[in-house]
Structure 1
Amino acid sequence: MRPSRSWRALAPLTVLAAFASGCASAAGPDDTAGPIVIGHTAGMTGFMSVFDIPVEQGMKLAIDDVNARGGVLGRPLELISTNNETDTSKIQTAAQDVLDQGADFVVTSCDFDIGGPAARIANEADTIALGCAGGPLFGLDGIGPLTYNFYPGSPTEGALLAEYAMEQGYTRPFVIADQTLEFTQVVGDFFEKRWIDLGGTVAGKETYHNGDESAAAQIGAVQRAQPDVIIAASYPPGGATLLRQLRAAGLSQPILGDTAYDGTYWTDAVPGLSDFTIPSAGALAGDDPVAARNDFFARYTSATGQAPASASYPLFGYSFVQALSRAIERAGSTETAAVQAELDRFTDEDLIVGKTTFTPQCHIPSGRPLVLKTYTDGVPKVVGERSVQSLMGQAPC
């Protein structure tokens, strides 16, 4: 048993009616056990902070909503956080710290390389871990049956971008894949695999590292290959450097990126960026195809005093709390095995990030649609929404 603790009520905010967790309940057997504690152990400083801080802010909004409705099983939700500083030497210690403080469930950094070690520490303590990593090893296969990934994954991104590129009539893509993270490596790999599966051939490919100051080698290779579209599988800040240098070199071809570019916090580094398209979990500019998400972002801005840096990560944070609240309520308990069983029964569960399915064999909702956004003069606009058609033998759940 984890120690009980005193708790404070969180100030309620307006509930998002379309996505209310529905977790208010009459007093149950655990009413005197204190709050249900969700621990967030993530990179609140360092390069992951632009992803992990919005996750926490989304979680806080959801916790306020659940508590305003009476909590879960008559108990309030409480959030505690530890900072791994995006330092690989501190991830496990930060994860253990959140468990030592009494976390009943753990949310990790939204990346396999940074979040994976924290999820393992949680699982070793018989605690469910949630995250939104692109790397496909963040989940059941790479960590274990108590780890759930709410992002469709980088194989989905790469294959979806290949399908989109083919439909746009491109014939000679050039792939630049950042080797710093598993996420970006897999996006590049799966773009190429799906492109070849569709009958195409790539004009060329190059690697990149996020800390590189110069992209001269990549630019030279692109200039020699003369592709009609460039795939930039990277992430800010180094990914912004790559884009700026590609454009400064006169390479005006359309560029396809990944969801790590989501938002506009980095676009000042690439003045006038246009013809750049990425997938994302949502859209910030009021043009999201799901009306409730537009309402959510307006509320987020009001609650925090600033617009979110990106669309995807606050949605994931809110959805983590939604999912846990519903699973705990249906289980009638916070016991790990009971909550795990309910998460494994999710079938098109209507979370704010989108319909989510888990099974005992699959903890990555790879079939969930992604929003496509194209940047023009640095401003992203939704151009469509689509699901991946094929993962070449990997069964989506």
Structure 2
Amino acid sequence: MSTEATGEKPAESASLIAVDDSAAKPSGDPIVIGQTAGLTGFMSVFDLPIQEGMKMAIDDLNASGGILGRPVELVTTDNGTDVAKIQTAAEGLVEKGADVAIVSCDYDIGGPAARTANAKGVIAFGCAGADEFGAKGLGPLTYNINHGTRADGASMAEYIKAKGYTKPFVITDLALQFTQTMGDAFVTRAEELGLELAGQEDYQNGDASAAAQIASIRQSQADVVIVASYPPGGATLLRQMRTAGIELPLIIGSAFDGVYWLDAIKDPGDMSILVPASLYGDDFSAARNEFFDRFEQETGEAPASGMYPAFGYSMVQAFALAAEEAGSIETEAVQAALDEFTDVGLLIGTTTYTPECHIPTPRPYHVISYDGDAPKVVDYLSSVTVPGEQPC
């Protein structure tokens, strides 16, 4: 794949919480930031990095006088990535006094938790990619920090079009709404752009064999393969494709952000991902580069992914900004302040909400290549046309 840029390096659009060492020490009853998520089970790969980002934001807030002069603390409940435990875990978070709930970045796991928190009058934040994860799908007290999986799927189509590919082959993982939406959005946008699909195959995360998908690719005239899946099963799929001699360029889904799954593949070859943040020191945002450096210093290891800790930090940041603007942590006041967010510079990037829309406009993408010694940014995509209804 050529590494010529499809667009200019985006302008700075991210910011950290401004730490003020001279600020008065927070006092009074703590404001409670809650996380109810899959802190064990397969969602822990995503939810634990979110928690680390949340902790960093809370530390910054407390070093800057807290929220409304009050200290901020974190409480958690673990649903074990078990759908039977989601409601109980979310109710437990409210019982612990959570003033806001941060839930899993997946509609199937995070959606029920958000509904439960909302029913108790508690605002919920999440970072699921599904269209339903927002005001229209879950209700006016749920806010998404993620610009959505339809944008991710569309970005893949726009990128391969810009690079000159004409016959993509699409593999869509049916295990989650997240990956189904991504695959569907890619197909829709690819057809709008005049691309001819070389073929399509479904996949189920955890399938032991990818023989059917590999055979279909070989029989096609594809010049690039799109993989809308996620680890760990998606990594198995990628390994089997490479082991079988499929050397076509691969564009993989945003859930692969990071390197924690790379050992399963050995030699990724020409493989790229489009994500809003780079954890490799080459993000276009100085604030995010600083954040990832701090993350490694404070935890003793580099983050497993870029998006998820940045999402965690940004959700706490958004709640704090809204509470300060409202002068209150009461639900209705914070909701009103959030609904007036216009191009607010969170760590993850510019964020806008309206009373009707709680899914932000797509932010610029980094194109990260895994081909070579270490992942690195090789390109950018600055604007995306999303099929169907546009985000805020």
User: TM-score, length-normalised on structure 1?
Assistant: 0.92
CA deviation vs aligned residue, 1:259-310 (integer Å, no higher than 9, x gap): 1001111101001212111112211111111111111111101111111100
CA deviation vs aligned residue, 1:347-393 (integer Å, no higher than 9, x gap): 11011111111111111113322222111146321122324431234
Q: Paired residue for 1:153, among 148, 153, 160? A: 148
Counterpart of 1:390 in structure 2 is: 385
Distance in 2 between the 1:55 and 1:379 partners?
24
User: 1:72 deviation in Å?
Assistant: 1.1
Q: Paired residue for 1:205, among 196, 200, 206? A: 200
Q: Paired residue for 1:68, among 60, 63, 75? A: 63
2:99 pairs with 1:104: yes
Distance in 2 between the 1:25 and 1:121 partners?
39
CA deviation vs aligned residue, 1:221-245 (integer Å, no higher than 9, x gap): 1111130000110001100001011
- Secondary structure at 1:19 match in 2: coil
Distance in 1 between the 2:105 and 2:242 partners?
29
Distance in 1 between the 2:20 and 2:100 partners?
17
Counterpart of 1:135 in structure 2 is: 130
Q: Is the 8 A contact 2:15 2:346 kept in 1?
A: no
Two-structure CA RMSD over aligned residues (Å)? 1.8
2:290 pairs with 1:295: yes
Counterpart of 1:233 in structure 2 is: 228
- Relative contact order (alpha carbons < 8 A, sep ≥ 6): 1 or 2 greater? 2
Mark the CA change 1:193 to 1:171 in structure 2 (over 3 Å): closer, same or farther: same
Distance in 1 between the 2:63 and 2:374 partners?
36
Q: Paired residue for 1:216, among 197, 211, 218? A: 211
Which region of structure 1 is more displaced relative to structure 2, 284-293 or 189-198?
284-293
Distance in 1 between the 2:40 and 2:15 partners?
33
Q: Is the 8 A contact 1:25 1:71 kept in 2?
A: no
Q: Is the 8 A contact 1:37 1:105 kept in 2?
A: yes
User: 1:395 deviation in Å?
Assistant: 2.1
Distance in 2 between the 1:225 and 1:96 partners?
50
Q: Is the 8 A contact 1:271 1:378 kept in 2?
A: no
Q: Is the 8 A contact 1:23 1:325 kept in 2?
A: no
Q: Give the 5 Å matches for 1:246-265.
A: 246-265=241-260
- Secondary structure at 1:141 match in 2: helix
Q: Is the 8 A contact 1:229 1:253 kept in 2?
A: yes
Counterpart of 1:3 in structure 2 is: none
Residue identity over aligned pairs, in percent, reads 55
Distance in 1 between the 2:208 and 2:383 partners?
34
Gaps of 5+ in 2: 1-13
Q: Give the 5 Å matches for 1:344-383.
A: 344-377=339-372, 379-383=374-378
User: 1:23 deviation in Å?
Assistant: 9.3
Q: Give the 5 Å matches for 1:29-40.
A: 32=28, 34-40=29-35
- Secondary structure at 2:370 match in 1: strand
- Secondary structure at 1:379 match in 2: coil
User: 1:26 deviation in Å?
Assistant: 9.3
Instruction: Kindly provide the amino acid, as one letter, of the partner of residue 253 in structure 2.
Output: D
Distance in 1 between the 2:22 and 2:67 partners?
7
Counterpart of 2:314 in structure 1 is: 319
Distance in 2 between the 1:87 and 1:245 partners?
29
Distance in 2 between the 1:54 and 1:281 partners?
16
Distance in 2 between the 1:266 and 1:161 partners?
21
Q: Is the 8 A contact 2:275 2:307 kept in 1?
A: yes
Q: Paired residue for 2:16, among 19, 37, 43? A: 19
Distance in 2 between the 1:155 and 1:388 partners?
13
Q: Paired residue for 1:185, among 175, 180, 183? A: 180
Paired residue total:
378
Q: Paired residue for 1:53, among 48, 51, 67? A: 48
Q: Is the 8 A contact 1:262 1:310 kept in 2?
A: yes
Distance in 2 between the 1:24 and 1:367 partners?
34
Q: Is the 8 A contact 1:148 1:364 kept in 2?
A: yes
- Secondary structure at 1:122 match in 2: helix
Counterpart of 1:339 in structure 2 is: 334
Instruction: Kindly provide the amino acid, as one letter, of the partner of residue 288 in structure 1.
Output: D
Q: Is the 8 A contact 1:111 1:134 kept in 2?
A: yes
Runs of 4+ in 1 over 3 A off after TM superposition: 21-27
